[in-house]
């Protein structure tokens, strides 16, 4: 069954990011700003996106977007997320087969995108990985429990 965001999920994200969601239909928007750094980003969660009939079973019925001053990031077909108050971040994940894509949004007004990360790296000894693979593997490894029922 495809993942869908609930009102409780949006409340958890509000709690971690410490900003209220602004609703516009089925879109929850979070506007983050750091007075200290001057950075701004907007996170939008489209809880339901109409898709063509031929791909209705693809799981792409939601999407997560980040708007920043000089970039736009989008994760389609989110399959789950981890909201960590301790880390001050929300990690949105889309998994297909052995590949995971992650969009990390930080309370400190930062964001990162990791694309096409092989999920088998999550259970690898990180000290054996080349430096270029460590950050994405560590960042997304905490989401591994989300995949237990996805195969």
| CA angle at 127 for the pair 148 and 79, rounded to the nearest 5° | 25
**Single pTM value for the model:** 0.86
Report CA torsion sign: 86, 88, 89, 90.
positive
Walk along the chain (151 residues) and give the pLDDT tens digit of each residue: 478 899 999 999 999 999 999 999 999 999 999 999 999 999 999 998 877 777 766 556 899 999 999 999 999 989 999 999 999 999 999 998 889 999 999 999 999 999 998 888 877 888 888 878 877 777 777 666 655 544 4
């Amino acid at each position: 069954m495809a993942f869908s965001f609930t009102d409780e999920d949006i409340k958890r994200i509000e709690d971690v990011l410490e900003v209220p969601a602004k609703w516009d239909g089925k879109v929850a928007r979070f506007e983050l700003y750091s007075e200290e750094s001057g950075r701004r980003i907007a996170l939008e969660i489209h809880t339901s996106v109409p898709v063509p009939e031929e791909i209705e079973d693809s799981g792409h019925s939601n999407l997560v977007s980040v708007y920043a001053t000089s970039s736009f990031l989008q994760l389609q077909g989110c399959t789950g997320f981890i909201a960590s108050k301790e880390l001050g971040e929300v990690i949105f994940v889309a998994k297909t087969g052995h590949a995971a894509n992650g969009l990390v949004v930080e309370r400190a007004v930062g964001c990162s995108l990791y694309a096409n990360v092989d999920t088998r790296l999550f259970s690898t000894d990180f000290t054996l990985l080349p430096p270029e693979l460590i950050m994405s593997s560590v960042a997304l490894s905490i989401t591994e429990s989300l995949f237990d029922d996805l195969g």
